[in-house]
Every structure is written in C-alpha cells, then in structure tokens.
C-alpha cells in the first residue's frame, strides 16, 4: 500500500497514537517514517494497524502498579492488562483486515477456457 498523509493520520488514530499539541511525531511510539513502513508492508490499513498494535505490545514495559502517598492511593493499569488490550486490538484489526476484499491474497475469480481434445 502506498503511504499518504491521509493514510498516516488514519493509522495514527487506529493505533491511538496522537501527536501531543506543539510536539512532533518523535514524541509518539511511531514516527511518520515508521508508519510509512507499516503501510508499505501491509495489504490494507487494518493489517497495518494489527501489526502496529502487536509492535506496541512488544514495547510495553513494567511499571509501578500502585502506590500511596499519605492517605491517597493510586492504582495503575497492570502490565498484563495492557498487554492483553494491545494483543486484543491487534487481533480485532487482523479480523477487519481479512474482511477487506482481496486482502487474503486471493485474486477474486478467474475465467479460463478449456478446449476439449479432438477425438477420432
């Protein structure tokens, strides 16, 4: 698939990778060139999103899950839950990619002609 600005922006939305206001693509998990690679290597945008979510799952790192300061207590999302979410998003987009016509590598239908042999 040929990357365009419009496809890149849509892929950013599907990956939940919004560029912070006043910042650049370097302030997200995926730079524009990395998104272009995902798009170029995929058959459709949903396949690119599936690959992107799988990559995001691989980038996850452990962090503090809860802490307290005085009487206040803060609970964060666990690494296991983040990983589960990322992989389920990858699976969802993979299913969507398969529903796009021609995405499964099939070429649709073929018309061919068979000529019977001459029999004496």
What confidence score (pLDDT) does residue 67 get?
75
Residues contacting 10, CB < 8 A, separation 6+: 45
Enter the tokens of residue 59: 């980038």
What confidence score (pLDDT) does residue 104 get?
54
What confidence score (pLDDT) does residue 8 get?
92
- Phi–psi pair at 32, nearest 5 degrees: -60, -40
| Averaged pLDDT in 10-residue chunks for the chain of 120 residues | 91 91 89 93 94 90 76 82 90 90 60 79
What confidence score (pLDDT) does residue 5 get?
92
> pTM value?
0.68
What confidence score (pLDDT) does residue 105 get?
53
State the virtual CA torsion across 103, 56, 74, 66 in degrees, nearest 10: 120
Bridge partners of 73, per DSSP, are 68
What confidence score (pLDDT) does residue 102 get?
66
Please give the Cα distance from 69 to 73 (Å, whole number): 6
């Amino acid at each position: 698939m040929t990357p365009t600005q419009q496809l890149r922006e849509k892929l950013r939305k599907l990956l939940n990778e919004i560029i912070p206001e006043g910042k650049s693509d370097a302030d997200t998990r995926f730079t524009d060139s990395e998104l272009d690679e995902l798009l170029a290597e995929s058959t459709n945008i949903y396949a690119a999103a599936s690959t992107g979510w799988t990559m995001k799952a691989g980038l996850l790192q452990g962090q503090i899950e809860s802490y307290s300061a005085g009487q206040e207590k803060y609970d964060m999302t666990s690494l296991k839950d983040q990983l589960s979410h990322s992989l389920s998003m990858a699976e969802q987009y993979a299913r969507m990619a398969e529903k796009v016509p021609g995405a499964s590598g099939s070429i649709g239908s073929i018309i061919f002609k068979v000529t019977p042999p001459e029999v004496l």
